[in-house]
Structure 1
């Protein structure tokens, strides 16, 4: 069994006016993420929207000193970017038991969440990662998945970052250090 994990594809990370945006780089993968969501839905595979959430003016969160406030609970910035809003609504209606919205407060979708429990109870052993940022939240989710024994697939055409150098480094790290398959349109590639 497999799961698609869509990481942090929100207005604050993708929209031109987002608080911590990947801009055009992140916008360029919207169609591919949508396609993958629909492909996974057709086969009744599990789809998780792992979405960063912060509370306004939280001085205790470790990111407070690293990044400007972003993905604040209840704001437009935390909403899914453009067409993914409709895709999520469609999946909720058509596949409610195989679609999950997961609030996360750290880089990794596993840190402090019930993601591992949800995957294990469905006998999922392979996770497919898409979203932003390749070298931050996608990377940390992949590292935790590796340490928990999951097989990892990274869709090169569905991940991006605001840091092109970090993006390329992470793609190499996924395959060379974590043993992940890095694919594009279903074909294995080696960055």
Structure 2
């Protein structure tokens, strides 16, 4: 059975930035399905759960610092259900793509993983750019639209269409996303 990498992006967010209110309203819709998917992924032997999260400009921040900042932010209700389990990989990032400036590609190759499931925020930014970076690195891509949050609905929908059409991404509901 093929092992899948499930990547949770940028969900540890203090929601203190431009567009945070709009984004927060959209994250409200995905936090339940995403929390259930994280729990499912964490229980499955054939899924490697990996968190990749923006360091919010703090280059000295550890995983615990990023988590604490998010929990103390404006929307702890969106953070608490998706806090990473202690025994999963956690990679801080500095830009939009989960691959840019991180060891994600090395980790995926080291674990011999060829398929990535992208979840988190923001669909038309970090999820889209990570999908492109996965595609050019020859990873198979899956995205669960009920586990990614957008800021702008039209751009989020366009990003999903682009990932499907231009990058061969499978767009599947959370209930099917971890199937082999």
Bin for the TM-score computed over the shorter chain: 0.7 to 0.9
Contact 1:4 1:128 (C-alpha < 8 Å) held by counterparts = yes
Q: Which runs of 4+ in 1 moved over 3 A?
A: 72-80, 185-188
Q: Runs of 5+ in structure 2 lacking a partner?
A: 59-64
What's the CA shift string for 1:88-119, capped at 9, x where partnerless? 2xx21xxx2xx111100010010011001111
What do you get for the CA RMSD once the two structures are aligned?
2.2
Residue number in structure 1 paired with 2:57: 55
Q: TM-score of the superposition, structure 2-length normalised? A: 0.81
Q: Does 1:5 align with 2:3?
A: no
Q: Runs of 5+ in structure 1 lacking a partner?
A: 57-71
> How far apart in 1 are the matches of 2:115 and 2:57?
32
**Aligned residues between the structures:** 160
Q: Does 1:171 align with 2:173?
A: no
Superposed, 1:57-136 pairs within 5 Å as 75=69, 76-77=72-73, 81-85=79-83, 88=84, 91-92=85-86, 96=87, 99-136=88-125
1:81 Cα deviation after fit = 1.2
> How far apart in 1 are the matches of 2:56 and 2:126?
14
1:186 Cα deviation after fit = 4.0
> How far apart in 1 are the matches of 2:154 and 2:12?
22
> How far apart in 1 are the matches of 2:93 and 2:7?
12
Residue number in structure 2 paired with 1:67: none
* Partner secondary structure for residue 81 of structure 1: helix
Higher RCO, 1 vs 2 (CA within 8 Å, ≥6 residues apart): 2
1:162 Cα deviation after fit = 1.1
Contact 1:10 1:77 (C-alpha < 8 Å) held by counterparts = no
* Partner secondary structure for residue 4 of structure 1: strand
1:187 Cα deviation after fit = 4.9
* Partner secondary structure for residue 92 of structure 2: strand
* Partner secondary structure for residue 51 of structure 1: strand
Q: TM-score of the superposition, structure 1-length normalised? A: 0.76
Contact 1:131 1:159 (C-alpha < 8 Å) held by counterparts = yes
> How far apart in 1 are the matches of 2:171 and 2:56?
30
Residue number in structure 1 paired with 2:39: 38
What's the CA shift string for 1:124-157, capped at 9, x where partnerless? 1000001110000000000000000000000011
